[in-house]
């Protein structure tokens, strides 16, 4: 991974300042996307017990196969 990082840094250093700003924006976008996915997963896990009481019932067993 270190070699890949070094190559990436060298490529970024060869860009114009405007393109470096675009790369920085894209990296920020990727980090935000990852954070949002983490929050979504955490919320889903936290809410699962509450929804289990509603979803796990004999009347809705037919939907379990879908």
With bands split at pLDDT 50, 70 and 90, how would you rate the model's confidence at 66?
confident
Please determine, for residue 56, whether its predicted confidence score (pLDDT) is greater than 90.
no
Q: What is the pLDDT of residue 54?
A: 79
Query: Does the residue 32 lie in any domain?
Result: yes
60, part of any domain: no
Q: What is the DSSP string of the chain?
A: -HHHHHHHHHHHHTS-HHHHHHHHHHHHHHHHHHHHHHHHHHHHHHHHHHHHHHHSSGGGGGGGG-
Q: Is 15 left (phi over 0), alpha (psi -120 to 50) or beta?
A: beta
What's the Rg (C-alpha) of the chain? 22
Q: Which domain does 31 fall in, by range?
A: 2-55
For the chain, the domain total comes to 1
pLDDT at 55 over 80: no
Would residue 13 count as lying in a domain? yes
The answer to whether position 29 is within a domain reads: yes
Whether pLDDT at 35 is above 80: yes
Say yes or no to pLDDT of 21 above 90: yes
- Token look-up 């991974």 returns 1
């Amino acid at each position: 991974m270190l070699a890949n990082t070094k190559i990436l840094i060298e490529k970024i250093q060869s860009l114009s300042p405007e393109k470096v700003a675009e790369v920085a924006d894209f990296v920020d976008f990727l980090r935000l996307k990852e954070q949002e996915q983490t929050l979504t997963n955490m919320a889903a896990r936290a809410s699962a017990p509450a929804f289990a009481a509603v979803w796990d019932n004999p009347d809705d067993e037919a939907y379990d196969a879908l």
